[in-house]
Amino acid sequence: MADTTPAPKPRGRLAHWWDGDFAYQFRRSPVAIISFTVVMLMVLAAIFAPLIAPYDPFDPASLNLMNGFSSPMEPNAFTGETFWLGTDDQGRDVFSTILYGLRISLFVGAAAVGFAMVLGITLGLVAAYVGGWVETIIMRIADVQLTFPAILVAMLIFGVAKGITPVEYRDQMAIWVLIVAIGLSDWVQFARVVRGATLVEKNKEYVQAARLIGRGSGAIMLRHILPNVLSPVLVIATISLALAIIAEATLSFLGVGAPPTQPSLGTLIRIGQGFLFSGEWWILLFPACTLLALALAVNLLGDWLRDALNPKLR
Amino acid sequence: MAMIQVKNLTRIFDVSKPWLNRVIERLPKAMLTAVSDVSFDVEERTVYSLVGESGSGKSTIGKMAVGLLKPTDGSVLINDIDLSRETDGGKLDKARSDIQMIFQDPYASLNPRWRVREIINEPVSARGGNVVGLAEKLLEQVGLSSLDADKFPHEFSGGQRQRICIARALASEPKLIVCDEPTSALDVSVQAQVLNLMSDLQENLGLTYLFISHDLTVVQHISDKIGVLYLGRLVEEATPDELFENPKHPYSQMLLAAAPKMDGFGREIDPPQGEIPDPINPPTGCAFHPRCPIATAKCSAERPEMRVVRGARVACHLAE
């Protein structure tokens, strides 16, 4: 019998994905679309800050102290220049500092979550797969760390790291120390979730089939188990990103985070709150709203992701 | 020389509560004897079946046979190599490529993130072998299409998945396949297809099967020899004809009487008495004596040895 039906034309992966359940869930959720758009706009704005920003707020040559304390959308009394979101005491354009601050905030947040993820996934995977005293030690450390608020842990690590770095490198190193501090305070969630998922996966028969043919533990963990435990990690990573951005802002607000030479949104808010009661509200309000919008959008996206990837919650 | 030689195989699991709980509640260690002093041989190119209720230790024996579990005592020799004690890496690798396993749950035994091609090729590619066209050839051999190689496991039904598992098991050209209840998760209509496929492959490729099942009707047709397990002990070993015509151990008799029969609709039978005892505190003597209709004082005192009774091996003081 001749096969008369022509084989269906193979469709691109993208088209396949777009028709899939995940993309469908996304298309019919206004919250997801809006928060995704907000996050993407902010990420693009941060990446292309030097191109978008009308001024370079960290180039002393372009600053004019006469522009200080300009109100938003009003021409400056002395120079006649107009700034969309006003200027601070040094005459720096608030809109430009927000763009640059967003850059630092997003970079620190993403890098800290990335660091926490790598550390947490590795430790969780090894703990669950190896078991025994290795598991006991790793998970007890995690439990102990959970009893302290993450921000305190981060401050502790930040303080110790600052103490051991030489003074002349402090400002340069501050961002990296911040990343490590936030990352180290946040790995526990990843480790716990990955451990739980690994405990389920490692007893499944496909893992036994791999052990049977003599596959080593490393290959089994990386190639077999890891791809199957990643979807809850994706959800936590998104929600952690919002928390990491807020943690960074909190540390910077308290004055232990990003240095004034590389201000993040938190640093801007700290600078701005000094002027709030003298009437220059815009220096505080605009960075604060940006941080709020960013954290909210990332959080909503994470919430939606959790629902979309867990069919039981629908 | 038999291909598989199981000698005095014993496996004890520690199922105690954590140390701190034991100290506080003053509990002793709880040791579960899953397999106790089991010995049997499997000849090359034959099918040896292990049957028994849940908890009788049949899967544990299967896992020890392929080296996934270490025996507490005794040994499993496969072509004279003991997987759990062999230290020569080359020999061990060679022995492993001769052994494969088909699992019970076709939904858990294929990695959901891998394509069928990678799954089938893994036993060969993990050793650096040539896998060009291998998956396609094997898929056709087990009755699927070579176009299925690029799909993911979730695109298949249970029976098709089990065929993929069989294809994977055949990839490294093994001599022995341990089948751990390969059909018990499938529909009855599909069971027959999969069993026929396995039976054909066994004959055509000269394979040896260690077939684990709780389903007597499945075992009856595929086996050359059947071992009946009760509470981790081998109680009877016989050819299918002998076992089904003339079961000698009281437990085998009870098991066969309880099996559903097509022509026995509406028949009056006594349901089996009692339940399988707690393997943490097994009965003294013969493990079956609390449920046995013909038990004597000797049965509760002395554990019966395996002995030959009219063409079968039986562990019962009273069988003759």
Nearest Cβ partner of A228 from B63, B92, B112?
A: B112
Residue B232 per-residue DSSP state: T
Number of structural domains chain B divides into: 1
What is the average pLDDT across A112-119? 96
**Looking at the domain assignment, is residue B155 inside a domain?**
yes
Interface contact flag, A212 B92, Cβ < 8 Å? no
For the segment B81-92, the average pLDDT, to the nearest whole number, is 84
Across the interface, whether the CB atoms of B68 and A212 are under 8 A apart is answered yes
- Beta-carbon separation of B66 and A212 below 8 A: yes
Altogether, the residues listed in chain B come to a count of 320
Domain boundaries, chain A: 29-57+67-313
Spell out which chain B residues touch chain A, with contact meaning CB-CB distance below 8 angstroms.
Answer: 63, 66-68, 92-93, 96-97, 99-101, 103-105, 108-113, 122-123, 126-127, 168, 172
Q: What percent of chain A has pLDDT over 70?
A: 95
The chain B residue lying nearest A201, using CA atoms, is B108
Tokens at residue A144, please? Answer: 């102990």
- Which residue shows structure tokens 């089994």? A220
Nearest-Cα distance to chain B for A201, in Å, is 9
Kindly list the residues from chain B whose CB atom is less than 8 angstroms away from the CB atom of residue A213.
Answer: 96-97, 100, 122-123, 126-127, 172
The distance between the two most distant Cα atoms of chain B, rounded to a whole number of Å, is 65
Q: Tell me if the pTM is above 0.90.
A: no
In a domain, B106, yes or no: yes
Considering chain A, what percentage of its residues have pLDDT values greater than 90?
Answer: 39
Q: Are strands B233-238 and B312-314 parallel, antiparallel or unpaired?
A: antiparallel
pLDDT in tens, A186-196: 899 999 999 99
Between CA B61 and CA B68, with CA B67 as vertex, the angle to 5 degrees is 80
Residues B288, B289, B293, B296, CA torsion sign? positive
pLDDT in tens, A76-112: 777 777 777 878 877 788 898 899 999 999 999 999 9
Q: In this complex, do B108 and A206 lie within 8 Å of one another by their Cβ atoms?
A: yes
Whether B124 maps to a domain, the answer reads yes
Q: Kindly determine whether residue B96 and residue A212, on different chains, have CB atoms separated by under 8 Å.
A: yes
Q: Is residue B271 part of a domain?
A: no
Kindly calculate the radius of gyration of chain A based on its CA atoms and give it in whole angstroms: 24
B66–chain A nearest CA distance, Å: 7
Q: Which regions of B79-114 does DSSP assign to beta strands (E)?
A: 81-82, 99-102
Question: Which residues, in sequence order, are bridge partners of residue B102?
Answer: B179
For A144, A186, A211, B77, the CA distances from A127, given in Å and listed in that order, are: 16, 17, 18, 33
To the nearest 10°, report the CA torsion of B34, B37, B38, B41.
Answer: 150
Pick the residue of A212, A226, A233, A234 with the most B CBs within 10 A to test the interface with B by mutation: A212
Distances (CA, A) of A308 to A31, A68, A232, B6, B117: 12, 48, 11, 51, 29
Q: Which residue of A has its CA nearest to B89?
A: A214
What is the Cα–Cα distance from A58 to A55, expressed in whole angstroms?
9
Q: Find where tokens 């869930």 sit.
A: A25
- Of the candidates A206, A211, A219, the beta carbon closest to that of B68 is on A211
Interface contact flag, B100 A212, Cβ < 8 Å: yes
Closest residue in B to A231 (Cα–Cα): B113
* Three-state SS at B102: strand
Contact check, Cβ <8 Å, B126/A206: no
Please give the Cα distance from A241 to A247 (Å, whole number). Answer: 10
Q: Interface pTM (ipTM) of the complex?
A: 0.86
Instruction: Read off the tokens for B105.
Output: 């749950």
> Which residues fall within 8 angstroms of residue A233, CB to CB, at 6 or more apart?
A117, A121, A190, A193, A194
Domain at A29-57+67-313: CATH architecture? Orthogonal Bundle (1.10)
Where would I find the H helices in chain A? 13-19, 21-27, 30-47, 49-52, 94-130, 132-146, 150-164, 170-184, 187-201, 205-212, 217-219, 226-253, 265-273, 282-309
What does the pLDDT look like over A259-300, one tens digit per residue?
Answer: 877 888 888 888 888 888 888 888 889 999 999 999 999 999
* Domain coverage including residue B242: 4-259
pLDDT value of residue A1: 43
Neighbours of B150 (CB within 10 A): 12
Residue A22: how many other CB atoms lie within 10 Å: 12
pLDDT at site A312: 64
User: Considering the domain boundaries, does residue B291 fall inside one?
Assistant: no
Q: In degrees rounded to 5, what are phi and psi of residue A19?
A: -80, -10
**Highest mean predicted confidence (pLDDT) among A258-262, B213-217, B226-230, B286-290:** B226-230
Query: Which residue of chain B comes nearest to A202, CA vs CA?
Result: B108
Q: Mind telling me how many Å the CA of A205 is from chain B's nearest CA?
A: 4
Q: Please answer yes or no on whether A205 and B105 come within 8 Å at the CB atom.
A: yes
CB A33 within 8 A of CB A304: no
How does pLDDT run across B178-214, given as a tens digit for each residue? 999 998 888 888 898 999 999 999 999 999 999 999 8
Contact: A205, B108; criterion CB under 8 Å: yes
Residue type, A204: K
Cross-chain residue pair A206–B96, CB shorter than 8 Å: no
- Whether residue A62 contacts residue A53, with contact meaning beta carbons closer than 8 Å, is answered with no
